[in-house]
């Protein structure tokens, strides 16, 4: 049986209509950042997590995520720059580091429109790979290879989530794990009533839903809203660096994070969290049910594709024979247009429920910015920070899918 929840100071019994000002459902990076922002503003915040805190069943766990300016869609540049500032603020507040700076290398055929746009948007400079990083990369003649020297890096994912949860608690938020939310309803006196599978019921003025791969299921259940978000089973792979090359591929040596826009679409980070190994993986994966994963679907195909890429592009420095040393499962929640969902739920809930979902494999880096925006929407009914930073939230509305299953993709 769960221990009684210690409520924050100033609960309903002290003259407030509700126990909480903001209830955040889902304690991955987005929810943890939203709870931190709400608590930082003095709101009585509750953060609920279905599983153990820092679990490995969603999309916010693991050792590393890339942060970069190299975005083909210019709409994301203001958001990532806001996020980078907020990452620095959180590191200063916590007293420890979760972001290791690194340049970012973008490479691929010059005919690849997304690559060209990403390079231009980031202001990246073309480089001769034969002269960089000990010739670690070998790519086809005529490829575009460009580096963004500043603003990128590697985020320590699980550590970052823990940091925001700790900061939220420090600011007065209540956190409860193993609390699966099964119902969100309009409260009898306004606001929302949030019920868990354990029979607990919490009342809040507003609710923020950030449940990752479970978003479609939960919102269909509580509001009859159909969000076209498809969870994918993804794979993180670590490969052995060849003897004598270990020091050249480290973050300390200035080795970059990288994205290859060829076939397959590969990304990687410098050797950092596991000495002697380097993370090189492939975008995408097979569709999955977050409640019924087999944990191995598509793994062989993904591993073989990445191994072939290593043999073609990094064979002198990374060992592909024998496969990866470590395989880690993850999920990403894809929208049809690969754009986020950041919006009020609407309908009977109006502006009492705010949704952050469908981060499509590129949301982690944006966590502090998204969390701040979600908290402001819940508390203020609008996101002033987004407007001030030049983040246009109109791209992320739920109604973009009304009568248009491809959403923003129709614009490309």
pLDDT per position as a tens digit, 225-267: 999 999 999 999 999 999 999 999 999 999 999 999 989 999 9
Residue 212 — left, alpha, or beta (φ > 0 → left; ψ -120 to 50 → alpha)?
left
* Predicted local distance difference test score (pLDDT) of residue 10: 43
Confidence tier at 7 by pLDDT (50, 70, 90): low
The CATH class given to the 20-60+159-229+337-401 domain equals alpha beta
* Predicted local distance difference test score (pLDDT) of residue 90: 98
Mean pLDDT of the 62-84 span: 97
Task: State how far the alpha carbon of 155 is from the alpha carbons of 61, 87, 256, 334, 365, in Å.
Answer: 11, 9, 13, 21, 8
Q: Which helix (H) or strand (E) holds 162?
A: helix 157-170
Mean pLDDT of the 398-408 span: 95
Range from 77-81, 185-189, 217-221, 314-318 carrying the lowest mean pLDDT: 185-189
What's the predicted TM-score (pTM) here?
0.96
Position 168 pLDDT exceeds 60: yes
Q: What is the CATH number of domain 102-153+233-334?
A: 3.30.9.10
Find the DSSP H helices in 108-156. Answer: 113-122
Mean pLDDT of the 72-95 span: 98
Position 4 pLDDT exceeds 70: no
CA distance 111 to 106: 14
pLDDT in tens, 32-56: 999 999 999 999 999 999 999 999 9
CATH 3.30.9.10 positions along the chain are 102-153+233-334
Mean pLDDT of the 86-104 span: 98
* Predicted local distance difference test score (pLDDT) of residue 14: 46
CB of 167 within 8 A of CB of 93? yes
Assign 383 to helix, strand or coil.
coil
Position 1 pLDDT exceeds 60: no
Task: State how far the alpha carbon of 146 is from the alpha carbons of 109, 133, 258, in Å.
Answer: 12, 13, 10
Token pair 């919490």 is found at 202
CATH 3.50.50.60 positions along the chain are 20-60+159-229+337-401
Confidence tier at 12 by pLDDT (50, 70, 90): very low
Mean pLDDT rounded to a whole number for the chain: 95
Position 411 pLDDT exceeds 70: no
Task: State how far the alpha carbon of 170 is from the alpha carbons of 36, 37, 278, in Å.
Answer: 9, 12, 35
Rounded to a whole number of angstroms, the CA Rg of the chain reads 22
CB of 235 within 8 A of CB of 302? yes
* Predicted local distance difference test score (pLDDT) of residue 6: 52
pLDDT in tens, 311-331: 999 999 999 999 999 999 999
* Predicted local distance difference test score (pLDDT) of residue 17: 80
* Predicted local distance difference test score (pLDDT) of residue 9: 46
- CA neighbor of 217 nearest in space, from 228, 208, 207: 228
């Amino acid at each position: 049986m769960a221990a009684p929840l210690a409520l924050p100071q100033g609960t309903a019994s002290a003259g407030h209509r509700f126990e909480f000002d903001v209830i955040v459902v889902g304690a991955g990076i987005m929810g943890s950042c939203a709870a931190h922002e709400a608590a930082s503003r003095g709101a009585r915040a509750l953060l609920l997590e279905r599983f153990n805190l820092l679990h490995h069943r969603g999309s916010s766990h693991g050792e590393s995520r890339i942060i970069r300016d190299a975005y083909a869609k210019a709409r994301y540049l203001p958001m990532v720059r806001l996020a980078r500032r907020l990452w620095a603020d959180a590191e200063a507040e916590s007293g420890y580091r979760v972001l290791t700076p690194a340049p970012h290398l973008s490479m691929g055929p010059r005919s690849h429109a997304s690559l060209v746009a990403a390079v231009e948007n980031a202001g990246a400079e073309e480089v001769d790979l034969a002269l960089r990083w000990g010739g670690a990369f070998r790519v086809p003649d005529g490829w575009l290879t460009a580096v963004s020297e500043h603003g990128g890096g590697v985020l320590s994912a699980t550590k970052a989530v823990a940091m925001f949860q700790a900061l939220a608690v420090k600011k007065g938020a209540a956190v409860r794990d193993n609390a699966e939310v099964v119902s969100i309803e309009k409260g009898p006196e306004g606001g929302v009533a949030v019920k868990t599978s354990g029979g607990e019921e919490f009342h809040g003025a507003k609710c923020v839903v950030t449940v990752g791969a479970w978003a479609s299921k939960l919102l269909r259940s509580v509001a009859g809203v159909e969000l076209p978000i498809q969870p994918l089973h993804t794979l993180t792979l670590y490969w052995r660096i060849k003897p004598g090359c270990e020091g050249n591929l480290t973050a300390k040596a200035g080795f970059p994070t990288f994205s290859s826009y060829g076939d397959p679409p590969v990304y990687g980070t410098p050797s950092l969290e596991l000495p002697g190994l380097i993370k090189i993986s492939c975008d995408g994966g097979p569709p999955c049910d977050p409640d019924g994963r087999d944990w191995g679907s598509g793994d062989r195909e993904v591993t073989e594709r990445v191994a072939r890429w290593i043999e073609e592009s990094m064979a002198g420095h990374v060992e592909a024979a024998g496969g990866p040393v470590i395989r880690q499962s993850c999920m990403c929640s894809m929208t049809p247009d690969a754009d986020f969902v950041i919006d009020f739920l609407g309908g009977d809930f109006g502006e009492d429920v705010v949704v952050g979902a469908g981060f499509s494999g590129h949301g982690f880096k944006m966590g502090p910015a998204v969390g701040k925006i979600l908290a402001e929407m819940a508390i203020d009914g609008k996101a002033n920070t987004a407007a001030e930073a030049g983040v246009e939230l109109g791209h992320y509305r739920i109604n973009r899918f009304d009568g248009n299953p491809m959403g923003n993709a129709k614009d490309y």
